[in-house]
Amino acid sequence: MGRMNSPSHSIVSSLPPHPLHSEICIVGNGIIGKVAALGFAQAGLSVNLLCSSHSPPAPASGWDVRVYALNHAAHSVLSSLKVWSALDASRVTPIESMIVHGDDTQRDSKLAFDAFGAHVGALAWIVEDSNLNQALDAALRFASNVHMVNGCAVKLSTDETSALVQLESGDTLSASLLVGADGGQSWVRGQCDIGIDYRSYKQRAVVANFECEQPHHGVAQQWLTASEGIVALLPLPGQRVSLVWSAPDALADTLMQESLTQLADRLTQLPHQRLGQLRPVVPECVKAFPLSLIRTHAMSAPRVALVGDAAHVVHPLAGHGMNLGFADVAQLLKIVIAREPYRTCGDARVLARYARARKEEVLLMQLVTDGLARLFDTNVEPVRMLRNRGLNLIDALPVLKKLLITHALGKS
C-alpha cells in the first residue's frame, strides 16, 4: 500500500478581503455533502454548500444502475431530516433476508440472515442514486439556512478562527468549520496535507439491472468466489434485481465487452441462484467503477472535518461505504450541536472528539472488508476449504450471527 501526501495550506494574506461567511462550509455536493448541509441547516446553523460549476447530468429514464443498500443508521438520519418520506416509495425495496454463498462446489456453504431473526422490519433498503438525490435536492430548495454556491475551489487556508476557500472566480468563502465531502479524490484532503494509504484492488464493480423469472421475495444474494470476484444480486421493486459484480480487471473487461444478454446468461447459471432466467432491464445500461482501499491518516485538520469517501474508501462487498458516510455526518452533527457554548463549530477540541468517535467503526469496517476481499481473492485449496467451512460455522452460531447483524444494521 502506497503512502501519499499532499501540498500544505495556502497563506491567508493572499486571499481577497470580505469573504462570504457562514458557520459551516461544505465542499462537495454529492449525497453525503447534501445530507450534511441539511443536517447543519436544520440545527439552525448557516451553511454554504459549494457545488461544482458543472451541473450533473439529468437522471436517465428507467431504473438507475447505481443503487445503495442503506442500513438502519442511514434510514434514521434521512428520516430525521424528513428526506426518507420524500423518496419515491414505489422505487424503494426492503431487504427481507440475505444469503451469502461460498464457492464450495460439493456443498452449499452459506451464511444467511433474515429480518425476522434480527427482530426488525427489514435488514436494509435498496435505494437508487437518482431517487435519493432528487429527494435531497427537493429538501435543500426549502432549507432557508443553506446557500448554494456554484464554483471551483482553488485555495484553502485556515487561521485561528476560520477556514477560507478561494474560488476560481476570485470570491472567497469563510466558515468556522469546513466539511470535506468531495469524494475519494478529495481536494479538501489534499489541501490539508492529510496523507493516505492507497491500494487498488485491481477490480471493478460492474453494475446493471435485470428482470428475473421468479420473484426475489426481498432476498439479497451474494456469491464469494476467488476466480470471478464477488457477485451480488440485490432486490429492486417488482421482479427486478440490481447486479453489483466486483470483478477482477481482466474479467471486468470481458463483461463490459459482452452484451447484457450474455451477462444475464452468466448470472442465470450461478449456483443456488433462485431467480430463474434473467433478462436485461430496458433501456439497457451497464457501468463499471474501479475499486480501491483508501485509509486517511486523519479525519480532521485545523478547522476541517472529512466525511464520506473523503475520509475513507472501502471495498463494496459489505455494501457499507455509503452507510459509513451517513454515520460520519450523524456523529459530526451530534458533536457540533452538543459543543460547549464558548466553543465554535470548528474548535480543535470539537474536531478531536469527532475523529475519536469515528475511529473505531471506520477501522473495523476497513479491516473486515479488506480482510474478506483478500481471503476470497485466494484460490489455494486449504484456504478455500477453511473459508467455506467458516461460513457454515458462523451460520450455526447464533451469538456470533447476532453480533454481525447488529453491526450491519448500524445499531452497534
Task: Please report which residue ranges of 180-320 form alpha helices under DSSP H.
Answer: 187-191, 249-257, 260-268
pLDDT at 141: 94
pLDDT at 369: 82
User: What are the structural domain ranges in the chain?
Assistant: 6-408
Q: State how far the Cα of 52 lies from the Cα of 87, in Å rounded to an integer.
A: 24
- Which strand (E) or helix (H) includes residue 129? helix 129-141
Check if the beta carbon of residue 317 is closer than 8 Å to that of residue 220.
Answer: no
pLDDT at 101: 86
Please state the pTM of the whole predicted model. 0.89
Overall size of the chain counted in residues:
412
CATH superfamily of 6-408: FAD/NAD(P)-binding domain (3.50.50.60)
Q: State how far the Cα of 77 lies from the Cα of 79, in Å rounded to an integer.
A: 5
Q: What is the mean pLDDT of each run of 10 residues along the chain (412 residues)?
A: 44 52 96 98 97 61 91 96 97 94 70 82 95 96 94 94 95 97 96 96 96 96 88 96 96 97 96 93 95 96 98 88 96 98 97 97 86 68 58 54 62 58
How many CB atoms sit inside 10 A of residue 144's CB? 7
Q: State how far the Cα of 386 lies from the Cα of 141, in Å rounded to an integer.
A: 53
pLDDT at 338: 97
Q: State how far the Cα of 255 lies from the Cα of 201, in Å rounded to an integer.
A: 17
Of 175, 181, 191, the closest CA to residue 344 belongs to 175
Residues 6+ apart with CB under 8 A from 387: 102, 224, 375, 376
